[in-house]
């Protein structure tokens, strides 16, 4: 427990300290995930996030609360109170014998430092895997996957989607007395009996984590959980662990399985290596769960249903659709006074529901993974039977467990924008409707206003779609460039190895002075082998230009480079390699290796 800031000594300051401590204790008791202290123009606002839902806890606190509150919070995290730059700190709190870790972040705004506290409850035991995966069919797929003997399992999701919970629940599920399991992470997020957990500094870089993984491999573990694959060195260490026979769990911050594959390829992992090592991908998303006690009936219109591009929803079943009964701050206060406030405290939601897309990596996915197109990978997995986020979200919506707005979050942004434009084109433009003269002027103005608003929304959607398409094209281009660089490096390495073999063959061939038929046959065999090796070099996209039997000339290399370069169009990759050896101290060979894709050769 941190000590109170010695600068806060007045009765008013002590009152503020006590208030903050009560707020922290209440947040921890309610299992709040985030606390936001946000300075306004002349006041302080405090908001909380519970079960993914953001709500206002206190607002319009007097202006003289701002500076003492922020100063005290900074003292808890032991960070510089006078710094104008964003800062990160950490501290612990104990409440009801429960020790929690709090990550402290400051962000300068126009009204002062805004402070966010992220609360982690490491002692909270993980849910049983079956309870955290509500869909029985999906649970069976995941259970078969995690009981594999070796291979890489990627757990994919956006921030705060529960990836670590799925990993630790899986480890608890497969833990046995005859298995050695290590879990490596930057933060102790959950304790699981029987599993060796290694906590690394939050500031540790990829090289440090990679070395820790390699050290763990010396202990011959059966299972490794290695946290986030956010650098090339960590990803390479994960592949090394798989090659040594381990079952490896790793997380990636991405929206879908296809996006996770694309991210790893962009880091520099060869697609073939990734395909060989990976046995399955579990992509997950958390949807807000409606409060069953206060939810309200919902009747989405045809245009709204068309936005999600779904044929599962029937307007005849509107009785099963619901929306959240979310109250404003003033409504919550009135409900408290009347004693009618629901157990969800006016948020309208109580917890979250996780949905999962499970991609089992089989041979029929190989070509799409090697190509690296994120959308193609996801579509191919769905064609092979994977239940999509949208399918699972619609099912929960029809069961009255979540809202239409949450279902829309299951759709990739670009697809959602396209569906919205299609829905807008499906219905007639109100500007072109002939309004009956019997309609009142008020109705006429209302529909005219609605038509203008719809047109504005459509233009905005078109603009957003264009921007999203541009970002998508740029991302695909970066992936192609990364793949090209990896392929180029691999070709150059193979070429050098083959050339070194040719050196040995040529040295052996030239050292033979054939005097017998056998020696002539051996020399001929060496010549045929050398020709075959040169042919292999050409097939992988490498061409060699050589000069032999001349003494070294400092200008010779430049001459060869000019002549060879003019043979090809600009933009072809050329690596220059000087190599040579002497025969009788008289012959020096200089070679230039030109590396390019086979398609670039004439």
Q: What per-residue confidence (pLDDT) applies to 491?
A: 63
Domain that holds residue 142: 125-286+356-386
Between CA 394 and CA 357 the distance in angstroms is 14
Between CA 449 and CA 445 the distance in angstroms is 6
For 280-284, 461-465, 479-483, 531-535, which range has the lowest pLDDT when averaged over its residues? 479-483
Q: Are residue 20 and residue 61 in the same domain, yes or no?
A: yes
Structure tokens at 416: 């959602």
Average pLDDT of the chain to the nearest whole number = 76
Where residue 95 sits, what CATH number does that domain have? 3.30.450.90
Where residue 376 sits, what CATH number does that domain have? 3.40.50.300
Which of 68, 91, 120 marks a domain boundary?
120
Q: Are residue 257 and residue 202 in the same domain, yes or no?
A: yes
Q: Are residue 15 and residue 161 in the same domain, yes or no?
A: no
User: Is residue 339 one of the residues assigned to a domain?
Assistant: yes
Q: Are residue 263 and residue 375 in the same domain, yes or no?
A: yes
User: Is residue 379 one of the residues assigned to a domain?
Assistant: yes
What backbone torsions phi and psi does residue 226 show, to the nearest 5 degrees? -120, 15
Q: What per-residue confidence (pLDDT) applies to 264?
A: 93
563, with CB counted inside 10 A (0-12, 13-18, 19+), is exposed
User: Is residue 211 one of the residues assigned to a domain?
Assistant: yes
What backbone torsions phi and psi does residue 515 show, to the nearest 5 degrees? -120, -15
Q: Are residue 88 and residue 137 in the same domain, yes or no?
A: no
Q: Are residue 364 and residue 297 in the same domain, yes or no?
A: no
Which of 386, 408, 438 marks a domain boundary?
386
Between CA 496 and CA 257 the distance in angstroms is 36
At 253-263, the pLDDT tens digits run: 999 999 999 99
CB 125 within 8 A of CB 168: no
Helix (H, G, I), strand (E, B) or coil at 216: helix
User: Is residue 583 one of the residues assigned to a domain?
Assistant: no
Between CA 498 and CA 373 the distance in angstroms is 32
At 176-230, the pLDDT tens digits run: 888 999 999 887 777 788 888 888 887 788 899 999 999 999 999 999 999 899 8
User: Is residue 532 one of the residues assigned to a domain?
Assistant: no
Residue 132: band (very low, low, confident or very high) from pLDDT cuts 50, 70, 90: confident
User: Is residue 216 one of the residues assigned to a domain?
Assistant: yes
Instruction: For residues 358-364, give the mean pLDDT.
Output: 90
Q: Are residue 76 and residue 132 in the same domain, yes or no?
A: no
Q: Are residue 149 and residue 266 in the same domain, yes or no?
A: yes
Q: Are residue 315 and residue 371 in the same domain, yes or no?
A: no
- Total domain count for the chain? 3
Q: Are residue 264 and residue 370 in the same domain, yes or no?
A: yes
Which of 65, 87, 120 marks a domain boundary?
120
User: Is residue 192 one of the residues assigned to a domain?
Assistant: yes
Write down the residue that tokens 């109100």 correspond to.
Answer: 430
Write down the residue that tokens 């401590």 correspond to.
Answer: 21
Residue 350: band (very low, low, confident or very high) from pLDDT cuts 50, 70, 90: confident
Q: Are residue 74 and residue 131 in the same domain, yes or no?
A: no
pLDDT surpassing 90 at residue 35: yes
Closest by CA position to 282, among listed 315, 252, 316: 252
Higher pLDDT, 578 or 527: 527
Q: What per-residue confidence (pLDDT) applies to 262?
A: 92
Higher pLDDT, 495 or 75: 75
* SS3 letters across 67-133: HHHHHHHHHHHCCCCCCCCCEEEEEEEEECCEEEEEEEEEEEECCEEEEEEEEECCCCCCCCHHHHC
Closest by CA position to 324, among listed 287, 357, 365: 287
User: Is residue 361 one of the residues assigned to a domain?
Assistant: yes
What order do you get walking across the sheet with 34-39 strand by strand? 53-62, 43-50, 34-39, 112-120, 98-109, 87-95
CB 39 within 8 A of CB 66: yes
Q: Are residue 218 and residue 140 in the same domain, yes or no?
A: yes
């Amino acid at each position: 427990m941190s000590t109170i800031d010695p600068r806060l000594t007045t009765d008013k300051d002590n009152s503020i300290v006590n208030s903050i401590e009560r707020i922290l204790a209440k947040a921890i008791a309610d299992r709040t995930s985030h606390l936001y202290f946000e300075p306004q123009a002349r006041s302080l606002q405090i908001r909380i996030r519970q079960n993914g839902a953001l709500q206002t806890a206190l607002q319009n606190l007097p202006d003289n609360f701002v500076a003492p509150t922020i100063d005290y919070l900074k003292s808890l995290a032991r960070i510089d109170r006078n710094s104008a730059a964003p800062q990160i700190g950490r501290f612990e709190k104990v409440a009801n014998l429960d020790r929690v870790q709090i990550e402290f972040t400051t962000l300068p705004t126009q009204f002062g430092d805004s402070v966010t506290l992220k609360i982690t409850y490491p002692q909270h035991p993980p849910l049983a895997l079956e309870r955290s995966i509500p869909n029985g069919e999906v649970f069976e797929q995941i259970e078969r996957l995690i009981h594999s003997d070796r291979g890489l399992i990627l757990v994919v999701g956006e921030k705060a989607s529960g990836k670590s919970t799925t990993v630790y629940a899986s480890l608890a599920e497969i833990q046995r007395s005859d298995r050695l399991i290590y879990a490596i992470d930057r933060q102790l997020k959950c304790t699981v009996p029987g599993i060796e957990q290694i906590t690394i500094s939050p500031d540790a870089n990829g090289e440090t984590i990679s070395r820790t993984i390699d050290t763990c491999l010396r202990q011959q573990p059966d299972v490794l959980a290695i946290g986030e694959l956010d650098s090339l060195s960590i990803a390479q260490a994960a592949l090394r662990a798989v090659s040594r026979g381990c079952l490896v769990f790793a997380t990636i911050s991405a929206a879908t399985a296809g996006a996770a594959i694309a991210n790893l390829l962009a880091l520099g992992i060869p697609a073939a290596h990734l395909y060989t090592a990976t046995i399955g991908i579990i992509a997950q998303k958390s949807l807000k769960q409606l409060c069953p006690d206060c939810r309200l009936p919902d009747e989405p219109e045809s245009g709204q249903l068309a936005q999600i591009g779904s044929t599962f929803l029937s307007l005849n079943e509107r009785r099963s659709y619901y929306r959240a009964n979310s109250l404003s701050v003033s409504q919550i206060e009135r409900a408290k006074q009347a004693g009618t406030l629901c157990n969800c405290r006016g948020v309208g939601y109580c917890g979250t529901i996780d949905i999962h897309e499970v991609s089992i990596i089989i041979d029929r996915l190989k070509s799409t993974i090697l190509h690296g197109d994120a959308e193609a990978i996801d579509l191919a997995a769905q064609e092979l039977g994977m239940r999509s986020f949208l399918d699972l979200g619609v099912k929960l919506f029809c069961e009255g467990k979540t809202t239409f707005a949450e279902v829309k979050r299951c759709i990739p942004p670009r697809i959602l924008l396209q569906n919205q434009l299609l829905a807008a084109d499906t219905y007639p433009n109100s500007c072109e409707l002939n309004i009956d003269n019997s309609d009142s002027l008020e109705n006429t103005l209302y529909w005219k206003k609605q038509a203008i608003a719809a047109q504005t929304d459509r233009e905005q959607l078109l603009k957003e779609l264009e921007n999203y398409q541009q970002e998508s094209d740029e991302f695909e281009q970066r992936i192609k460039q990364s793949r090209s660089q990896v392929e180029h490096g691999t070709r150059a390495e193979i070429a050098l190895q083959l050339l070194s073999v040719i050196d040995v063959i040529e040295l052996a061939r030239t050292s033979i002075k054939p005097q017998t038929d056998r020696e002539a046959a051996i020399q001929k065999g060496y010549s045929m082998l050398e020709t075959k090796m040169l042919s292999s070099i050409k097939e992988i996209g490498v061409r060699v230009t050589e000069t032999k039997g001349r003494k070294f000339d400092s200008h010779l290399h430049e001459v060869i480079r000019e002549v060879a370069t003019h043979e090809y169009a600009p933009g072809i990759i050329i690596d220059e390699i000087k190599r040579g050896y002497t025969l009788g101290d008289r012959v020096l060979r200089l070679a230039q290796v030109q590396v390019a894709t086979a398609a670039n050769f004439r």
